Chains A and B, each alone.
Chain A
Amino acid sequence: KQEVTQIPAALSVPEGENLVLNCSFTDSAIYNLQWFRQDPGKGLTSLLLIQSSQREQTSGRLNASLDKSSGRSTLYIAASQPGDSATYLCAAPTGGSQGNLIFGKGTKLSVKP
Chain B
Amino acid sequence: DAGVIQSPRHEVTEMGQEVTLRCKPISGHNSLFWYRQTMMRGLELLIYFNNNVPIDDSGMPEDRFSAKMPNASFSTLKIQPSEPRDSAVYFCASSFQGPGELFFGEGSRLTVL
Q: A residues near B, CB below 8 A?
A: 31-32, 34, 36, 42-46, 49, 89, 91, 93, 97-106
Contacts and interface: CB of A to CB of B under 8 A. Distances in A.
Main secondary structure of the interface of A (DSSP, over half): strand
A89 B43 CA distance: 10
Contacts of B98: 98-99
Interface of B: 4, 31, 33, 42-43, 45, 48, 50, 55-56, 59, 91, 93, 95, 97-107
Contacts, number: 57
Given A44-B91, A44-B102, A99-B31, 12 more contacts: A32-B99, A34-B102, A43-B104, A43-B106, A44-B104, A46-B102, A46-B104, A49-B101, A91-B102, A99-B50, A99-B98, A103-B42
A100 B103 contact: no
A26 B42 CA distance: 18
B108 to A, nearest CB: 10
Given A97-B56, A99-B48, A100-B56, A46 B103 contact: yes
